[in-house]
Amino acid sequence: MKLSTKGRYGIKAMVDLATEYESGEKLSIAQLSERQGISYAYLEQLIALLKKAGLVKAARGAQGGYTLAKTPENISVGEVLKALEGSTALVECVGTDGTDCENVCSCAARPLWLKLQRRIDDVLDSTTIKDMAEDYIIQKERLNS
Amino acid sequence: MKLSTKGRYGIKAMVDLATEYESGEKLSIAQLSERQGISYAYLEQLIALLKKAGLVKAARGAQGGYTLAKTPENISVGEVLKALEGSTALVECVGTDGTDCENVCSCAARPLWLKLQRRIDDVLDSTTIKDMAEDYIIQKERLNS
DNA sequence: ATATATCCGAGTAAACCGCTCGGAATTATT
DNA sequence: AATAATTCCGAGCGGTTTACTCGGATATAT
């Protein structure tokens, strides 16, 4: 029941990108990895997933880098996690892809998993990258004062 | 972010045991594994964890078996999962053991993880094995009619 | 005594995690 | 045109976890 570093690192990178969204500045993998303390080569892979999911845009070549593909308030945390982890489902049988386990009707635990999943998705879908970026900026200011 | 079979199988076994709680009947590993479709030797290990956590009682020897150590309404799903998986924490830094990551104050994601974890624990702690057993019995009746 | 159980430790194949590495392709700068 | 900076991509890899199996020791009702 653990969230992997993929999800955690990816979220951090997205939040960092969000702080530059207004200015339109790009951030390179090198910058992101330095600022967030994530291994360069590993982060590269995570960003590739985010790009494939249409959450970030890349500019190739020298002076290139990444920007968010949408406004931060239009990117939910759930979307990001889904891109990185494949799914936010706690158990396969309550995933959004409609795959049900063979004994849906007789599974004692299914109602519990459904309830749990609904609560989780509530939070993930209602929290945006913008929300997180705002918290992040406030935190950074507090540290500097 | 997946729940392992340990948790899922263990919950199923506990719910099955709860259905026999009133009658005081014991269930052996063989019976539980047959009724719930779980490998015998694997289930043995899971039950050992539940026993260590004081959730089930064992009667050794011939005609032995297991019973719940407490009334089903006094066993929360959260307790059971904790016994089986070690913790219900999604990320280490919000676990109940007080271990915080090195950059608690500067982590952009921490508020999100805290909120998420609170929602999860709400459900897990407020749902009891009795609740689940009741659902289970209703389901079985529906199947037979 | 015997059959039926729990108890216990070890082993194991496969998957997953958290990376690293090497190089190809693209583009701004000089 | 050359160079440096960057994204893009696939492969590999050591360690851990998962989901089991197996072999036996121990306890106990019959």
List phi, psi (to 5°) of A82. Answer: -65, -40
Model confidence at B102: pLDDT above 80 = no
Average pLDDT of the segment spanning B78-107: 76
Residues 7-36 of B with CB under 8 A from A: 7-8, 11-12, 15-16
**pLDDT tens digit string along B15-61?**
999 999 999 999 999 999 999 999 999 999 999 999 999 999 999 99
- Structure confidence by residue, pLDDT tens digits, A35-79: 999 999 999 999 999 999 999 999 999 999 999 999 999 999 999
A37 Cβ within 7 A of any nucleic strand C atom: no
Question: For residue B136, what are the CA distances in angstroms to B19, B53, B96?
Answer: 9, 24, 30
Place of tokens 């960092």: A16
The Cα–Cα gap between B145 and B140 comes to: 9
Q: How far is the CA of B22 from the C1' of D14 (A)?
A: 51
pLDDT averaged over every residue in chain B: 92
**pLDDT interval class at A142 (50, 70, 90):** confident
Residue B3 banded pLDDT, cuts 50, 70, 90: very high
Give the separation between CA A124 and CA A144, rounded to whole angstroms.
30
pLDDT at B98: 46
The region of weakest confidence among A37-46, A90-99, B73-82 is A90-99
Q: Which nucleotides of D are covered by protein (CB under 7 A)?
A: 4-11, 17-23, 26-30
Q: What is the chain A residue with the closest CA to B134?
A: A108
Domains annotated for chain B, with CATH where assigned, are 5-87+128-144 (1.10.10.10)
